[in-house]
Structure 1
């Protein structure tokens, strides 16, 4: 009887161990299959360094339009697939913000990148809000602490690589914001911080307290304001990376938009003077010029516009948006084209002769008032 009980106990233990091993094997297979679907990044994209500390692909991916700003949000599964395709093609820098959605873009980007979190750079932003439909900035320490914890949860990560002040808050001195960013770095919640659409003087003040790794502002061959207002020269002098958002001028430099183009309901560009039918018609001058440069090099207009930005300096990193896999591939091939200094000088001379019609933000609007501070 004792021998029988012993054998029965042994049989049960063996069955339990077998079931445990089978369960572990199944879990490992699922993990392996999941990872197998995500390839190693291509070495075809060159790298650039932001602020001397954050290495990124020379072209990043702006993710806003997947969830926000350009009509209805796109399908989550399709956008997840696109983000991972970008990684497969060599993109390691992905940009989002808590206000995109709000929140839904972070909820898309985080899970999409979770399987490859240690191989990518995630940038998100804080401090821009729209209570009751009116824009406001809040970079108080209390607000930042609340925002960072919420973003970390939505992004499903323990840290954010570049945490950017979305717009300057005139009620909170930039020195206080820099102090808070330094605390977050010490706590391990962020690796570095940045500013967006800040003026040159604010960038300098922030740098004296705790140097930002990047400044993210609008920049394209058809919007060159930051070359003249001191922002880009200040970034270069201080060793701060410049992240160029809207490098295709919100779609103008795709060659697909003219006076007959119709934006989807809810598209933010409906409120911007540069994208009225009259302005789009007038701005075909810059579109045609950039297209003519591309034709000489065998490049598309978008590739030409991105290649021109990359040629401006090696601390500049454009982050074009797209929700289309074909456009993603087209954009990334911009790294295959280059310009000589003579070519750049001639392009500059011709571009300065072209009058760009329409402000990027409606004059007097909250958006217009919140840039360059």
Structure 2
């Protein structure tokens, strides 16, 4: 039995976990980042489309950028609607390289990274937590002692909740994504743009996408929401079929090379009612529903939770004060209203609207919104202009109906 001691052990090497360990190591804490895969290339599961702001916000290097984009296209059942940008508006990150960078930064600032080790349990003791790990292809347990543990296991929330422990009510979703290499002629049709699909022809209770990566490489995927966990297997099959349909019928790639296939689940707490802290465990990223219900910039918000949580983790390690209720309070104060409005918008668009209603809404957005206003809505979830114009549109429509009925 091997025992090591750290100030903080972070379980999960995704963007939230990697940023947490990077930030805490930079603050001078003794940090261990634990990743269950032997290589970050083995779970390269995120589409990683975002705006330019996070590159500066988190000081991310250009080496982790897969491609830049300047246009947004929304393909509905009948038509495609395009918002043109004259300059670069955002990036599609190389998800593997992002996580590698965050791990390298952790080591650079004095932390440690442990690859290929799976979390299997914890025991809370008076002066800390005993974390139990097991190395891949090995049954021998490793015990590590730490003052506090960070749950960065995403929607599984493996560290915050023990097996069979009751969790908040969750909305479930899942997705499938293929990374494919295509001919140059096909790639050139989709480079420089983020393409989203809405409506039942190309998506079911969610949306689908085509994102460019490095030359001749595209990411193609589909996501779907559902209510009960027993629907998961059927949902995975559906999103896979939609993804393959887009490749064959929309992209019309007759010959292509599959670089990677991956899928995952999303468990989202309605109203951000997650457990942010309990028994020396702090949750970050998708473990506190950091991804917005409408999608968009999930990586950015995961990393923002990491930065906010790191402030209170550092305070706890240095002073012993457990002010993690402020972590939850500040995150909810900053995000809750936007997240609730996004939940409402997503439910209507994905589940309640007919194809024609989706088409009408996107057509209205195309006529009334610039690309910068669309980016604000899709990625920054700023609704002021959106609701003002939709409200105005609704008033005009009522006035028209009133006059029509009157005469």
TM-score (norm 1): 0.29
| Structure label with greater radius of gyration | 1
- Per residue, is there more strand in 1 or in 2? 2
- Per residue, is there more helix in 1 or in 2? 1
- Higher-RCO chain (CA-CA 8 Å, sequence separation at least 6): 2
TM-score (norm 2): 0.27
